[in-house]
A and B are shown apart, each in its own frame.
Chain A
Amino acid sequence: MQATGLGAGSLMLSQIPVFGRQVPVEALLVPGLDISIKKRLADAALNAAKSKGASYADVRIGRYLNQFIITREDKVQNISNTESYGVGVRVIVNGCWGFAAVGEAKTEAELASVAEEAVAMAKANALLSDEPVQLAPQKGFGEVSWKTPIVKNAFEIPIKEKVDLLMAVNGAALSNGASFVNSQFFLVNEQKYFASTDGSYIDQDVHRLWPSFTVTAIDPKSGKFETRDALSAPMGMGYEYLQVNPADKITGITTRYNKGYDMLEDITLAAKQAKQKLSAKSVEAGKYDLVLDPSHTWLTIHESVGHPLELDRVLGYEANFAGTSFATLDKWKSKNFNYGSKEVNFFADKTQPGSLGAVGYDDEGVKTKRWDLVKDGILTNYMGIRDQVHILGENESQGCCYADSWGSVQFQRMANVSLAPGKEKLSVEEMIKDVKRGIYIIGDSSYSIDQQRYNFQFSGQLAYEIKDGQIAGMLKDVAYQSNTQEFWNSCVKICDESDYRLGGSFFDGKGQPIQSNAVTHGSSTARFNGVNVINTGRKI
């Protein structure tokens, strides 16, 4: 699920809780602990855990850096640089997990002590368990490292340059009719050191960034307002994402972007479109053929494909909060469950360049990979971790384990899940040409789905009526409701690879206490026939 208030659909970065302490910008460029020190500390925790009876232990020494630049109109509201350092130790004792974490631990004695606390917790919990944890074997990789292949480290770009861009962006919004504008940059750098009793010592340097905005147009006379959010995607990239590159632009009714985002152009269009929305035609409820842009579809994929195929949900581990899944093991075992039409192929990929979920190794030391989830419409696999995959008859984890901080226990999270592009050449224009009565939706907005992932409702930033193969004008108050299996079986066409783009969120929420996972979903524009559209306009 997308966490409330933190979701892309209602992005208000000023509400984001800042995890960690604030630091000056230079502190973000100072390297963390030397790797030899991290190894020594990790060994202290692993040895302490083993000597207290752990049959398995892993330790994560994490340094998490964030930078937020938050503006409105002509003001910088907040520049915040945060750093959080700490250690989390996870152990298996008497067949049961235990986990403890502590901030600022930098001595071998502190590491040993946190390992002992984890052992004590596992022992207490073991009294309630009659079935020991079964961990899929994992070979140790020795000392290895991985880094997001960024071109320009966004943390190294001077604050002034970033502020100047946001001020120019806000200026463009106001001079093009916006009443208000909020814009922000959000940068992330996870420096994670993982070691386990399997013999892995893995050092990773993960980078992500998310430029975004919301423009608001107000009609004071009527008291009505409309907004339009950025069509950017959060990316596993450096500042090169902000480089304007014509090859990364998809032109049409509005410009959409691939791996280079023209923020100034997007906000100029957004300001005009937000005003246009004020007087747009309110949709007539009924069945429509939908043409969905990748900037919208990512969230539908996330909710209706990504979450139901998380193995912990399928097994019942999330029953108390996020929910379970309709995609039960018997459907998978049947090898003939039609998740979607024959056009539909979904794959999980923890290595996809530019994606938010790309890492070299997951948070329990498993090397990442790509695999199929739905092939030619048939359910073929799930996403699992080391203590689950034996249920699938596998003896190797799929590498989906993640913790959002040193202080959070790692657990099963969604990989990047994407809809494969169509195999035949097909452009968006050609797709629209064939639609008699349809709606073209761009950008993500409201989203909601049930706890087993059957019934959903989504809306977008922009909706256009399609009449007899032509775009007939802007619509408002549009939301579609469907059932996952019915919806993906109504997918009749997918544009080719040239239209394939990524979308995603930093704030995929799951677990108790809730943790955030950054995840990407790629797709090309896709057509769905006969989907139920409702009108969401209300008077109060």
Chain B
Amino acid sequence: MILSETEAKSLLQKVLKYSKADECEVNLQGEKWSNIRYALNKVSTCGSKTYKVLAVQSAFGKKVGVATIDEFDDASLEKVVRRSEELAQLAPENPEYTGLLGPQQYLPPSGFINSTASLTSVDRAKAVGQSIQVARSQKQTVAGYLEDRVGYSAMMNSKGLFAYYPSAKVNFSATIRTDNGTGSGYATQGVTDFAKLNTASATQIALQKAVGSVGAQAIEPGKYTVILEPLAAAVLLEHLFRSLDARSADEGRSFLSKAGGKSKLGEQIVDERVTIYSDPTNEDLPSSPWSADGRAQEKISWIEKGVIKNLFYSRYWAQKKGVKPVPAPTNFMMAGGTASLEELIKSTQRGILVTKFWYIRSVDPQSLLVTGLTRDGTFYIENGKIKHPVKNFRFNESPVIMLNNLETLGKVERVVSSEGSFSNYLVPAMKIREFTFTSLSDAI
């Protein structure tokens, strides 16, 4: 099912041999995606989906056509090449087509692990069973989700470029709700190696938060010092990560645009302790060393010591601006500090510990203002101690304002976004002053 580098290369070479276009590029992707979902301490749905797909892009001058196929006999492979060529001949010229890249040097891939690739239905059921057992033993109710995705991507073009990346990843999450419905806690774990997944200990963390959040008291919304656990910080930061596009900034429609039609590239926009970067070779969060158009990924800083250092460019926009065509990255991480969560709490006179945010949506792209709510365990801190759980808040805050109000950075953890994308990040806990909560929610 998973084609090796040699198998992928030979398939792609065969496809390219059919090409009669000026330029031809072929992308191949295959995956087996399996999941098991449970609620009320039992399995609710599960599934497995297997697919493989090949995309061929042909170009005559600046006329470009793309066709895709999921059948792999010789006749089908030739057909998909011919079809892309026909589409290219019919297409209007694309003034933004920049031609193909030649051979590139890529960093070594490190995202594939056998223990994950060989998972079975029984392994998944066992892992989920361990999570359910934690809840049952404490007479609580758990709902959770375990998925594993094992696949590969490869590309080759008529200018000699070849790339191959095999990957495997596992995401797990669990929510415990206390039986009286007055407490709720959440935990998540993202791993590359299934052997490192511990569903029981993750569920135990969810259990502690659920039990600890029973009896939440209402306190007035307003501006508070907050301690954000890494997951809570990450789901706010992902709105910043996604917005680091050069073209929008240059065109005047980004939080990075400024008066006079300029962008903030090179300017300090947040606290000088903030460094946000990408690195496909990071062993805690490996990712593809190349992007879908063949550009090489490298370790790169987006924000360094508070200054916007780099933005992503399409090859067209980079050419137009005469700059290096930095691709959008395949992972994101933020440098942390040394403080433990306990130390962050201990140093806080009065504040709120946020373990998770929920339903975060853009309110104003000009200021990157977003709104959302706390969820699954929010606690009041007084004189360096957790005093009691508090009712959930709605917030309206910008990650840019938040990173300007940075007090202390904690330790970095790998987290799985709880906001639908399930992207994994390396992000620290952080203490932020004057975080804006605007109303209270009755939700538990």
- Given A316-B143, A459-B363, do A451 and B443 touch, yes or no (CB 8 Å)? yes
Say whether A218 faces chain B, with CB atoms less than 8 Å apart: yes
Say whether B174 faces chain A, with CB atoms less than 8 Å apart: yes
CA of A96 to CA of B42 in the docked complex: distance in angstroms?
A: 10
Q: Chain A contacts of B177 at CB under 8 A?
A: 316, 319, 324
Say whether A196 faces chain B, with CB atoms less than 8 Å apart: no
- Given A97-B46, A128-B125, A319-B175, do A540 and B255 touch, yes or no (CB 8 Å)? yes
Say whether A146 faces chain B, with CB atoms less than 8 Å apart: no
User: Separation in Å of the B374 CB from the closest CB of chain A?
Assistant: 9
Q: Chain A contacts of B91 at CB under 8 A?
A: 79
B96 touches A450 (CB 8 A): no
Interface segment, B68-76, B99-107, B150-158, B343-351? B68-76
Q: How large is the interface on B (under 10, 10 to 19, 20 to 34, 35 or more residues)?
A: 35 or more
- Kindly report which residue of chain A lies nearest to residue B176, judged by CB atoms: A319
Q: Chain A contacts of B45 at CB under 8 A?
A: 97, 99, 409, 411, 511
CA of A99 to CA of B55 in the docked complex: distance in angstroms?
A: 28
A76 touches B443 (CB 8 A): no
Give per-residue flags for A515-539: 1 if the beta carbon is below 8 A from chain B beta carbons, else 0. 0000000000000000010101111
CA of A216 to CA of B254 in the docked complex: distance in angstroms?
A: 11
Q: Chain B contacts of A102 at CB under 8 A?
A: 49-50
Give per-residue flags for A109-148: 1 if the beta carbon is below 8 A from chain B beta carbons, else 0. 0000000010011001101111100000000000000000
B359 touches A130 (CB 8 A): no
Contact of B257 among A23, A225, A514 (CB under 8 A): A225
Contact of B66 among A1, A22, A318 (CB under 8 A): A22
Give per-residue flags for B258-286: 1 if the beta carbon is below 8 A from chain A beta carbons, else 0. 11110000000100000000000000000
B443 touches A326 (CB 8 A): yes
Say whether B144 faces chain A, with CB atoms less than 8 Å apart: yes
Instruction: Give the secondary structure class of B's interface.
Output: strand
Say whether B322 faces chain A, with CB atoms less than 8 Å apart: no
A223 touches B252 (CB 8 A): yes
A121 touches B46 (CB 8 A): yes
CA of A317 to CA of B39 in the docked complex: distance in angstroms?
A: 5
Interface centre among A220, A536, A538, by most B CB within 10 Å? Answer: A538
A100 touches B47 (CB 8 A): yes
User: Separation in Å of the A61 CB from the closest CB of chain B?
Assistant: 15
- Given A24-B83, A316-B143, do A454 and B441 touch, yes or no (CB 8 Å)? yes
User: Separation in Å of the A15 CB from the closest CB of chain B?
Assistant: 10
Say whether B366 faces chain A, with CB atoms less than 8 Å apart: yes
- Given A223-B252, A223-B258, do A540 and B401 touch, yes or no (CB 8 Å)? yes
Say whether A457 faces chain B, with CB atoms less than 8 Å apart: yes
CA of A306 to CA of B160 in the docked complex: distance in angstroms?
A: 53
B147 touches A540 (CB 8 A): no
User: Separation in Å of the A73 CB from the closest CB of chain B?
Assistant: 11
B36 touches A125 (CB 8 A): yes
Q: Chain B contacts of A4 at CB under 8 A?
A: 361, 419-421
CA of A321 to CA of B259 in the docked complex: distance in angstroms?
A: 41
User: Separation in Å of the B110 CB from the closest CB of chain A?
Assistant: 25
A319 touches B143 (CB 8 A): yes
- Kindly report which residue of chain B lies nearest to residue A317, judged by CB atoms: B39
Give per-residue flags for B357-368: 1 if the beta carbon is below 8 A from chain A beta carbons, else 0. 011111111111
A512 touches B122 (CB 8 A): no
A446 touches B125 (CB 8 A): no
- Given A21-B69, A320-B174, do A538 and B362 touch, yes or no (CB 8 Å)? no
Q: How large is the interface on A (under 10, 10 to 19, 20 to 34, 35 or more residues)?
A: 35 or more
B252 touches A220 (CB 8 A): yes
User: Separation in Å of the A2 CB from the closest CB of chain B?
Assistant: 8
- Kindly report which residue of chain B lies nearest to residue A117, judged by CB atoms: B48
CA of A120 to CA of B70 in the docked complex: distance in angstroms?
A: 26
- Kindly report which residue of chain A lies nearest to residue B92, judged by CB atoms: A76
Q: Chain B contacts of A216 at CB under 8 A?
A: 253
B369 touches A538 (CB 8 A): yes
Which residues, 429 to 456 on A, are CB-close (under 8 Å) to B? 446-455
B252 touches A479 (CB 8 A): no
Interface centre among A127, A318, A319, by most B CB within 10 Å? Answer: A319
Say whether A103 faces chain B, with CB atoms less than 8 Å apart: yes
Say whether A483 faces chain B, with CB atoms less than 8 Å apart: yes
Say whether B373 faces chain A, with CB atoms less than 8 Å apart: yes
User: Separation in Å of the A407 CB from the closest CB of chain B?
Assistant: 4
Say whether B43 faces chain A, with CB atoms less than 8 Å apart: yes
Q: Chain A contacts of B363 at CB under 8 A?
A: 446, 457, 459, 479, 536
Say whether B108 faces chain A, with CB atoms less than 8 Å apart: no
Give per-residue flags for B276-300: 1 if the beta carbon is below 8 A from chain A beta carbons, else 0. 0000000000000000000000000
- Kindly report which residue of chain B lies nearest to residue A74, judged by CB atoms: B95
- Given A223-B258, A455-B373, A457-B371, do A320 and B145 touch, yes or no (CB 8 Å)? yes
CA of A56 to CA of B186 in the docked complex: distance in angstroms?
A: 34
A454 touches B401 (CB 8 A): no
Contact of B253 among A1, A218, A452, A477 (CB under 8 A): A218
Contact of A128 among B128, B252, B373, B394 (CB under 8 A): B128
Say whether A222 faces chain B, with CB atoms less than 8 Å apart: yes
CA of A80 to CA of B364 in the docked complex: distance in angstroms?
A: 30
Contact of B42 among A128, A321, A447, A539 (CB under 8 A): A128
- Given A129-B43, A539-B367, do A448 and B360 touch, yes or no (CB 8 Å)? yes
**What residues of chain B have their CB less than 8 Å away from a CB belonging to chain A?**
33, 35-40, 42-53, 55, 66-71, 83, 86-87, 91-92, 94-96, 121-122, 124-125, 128-129, 132, 141, 143-145, 147, 173-175, 177, 184, 186, 251-253, 255, 257-261, 269, 358-369, 371-373, 375, 392, 394, 396, 398, 400-401, 418-421, 438-444
* 11 contacting pairs across A/B (C-beta < 8 A): A97-B43, A100-B47, A120-B121, A121-B48, A179-B251, A225-B365, A225-B366, A321-B173, A477-B364, A511-B37, A538-B367
* Pairs A-B, 5 closest by C-beta atoms: A455-B441, A223-B259, A450-B443, A21-B68, A452-B443
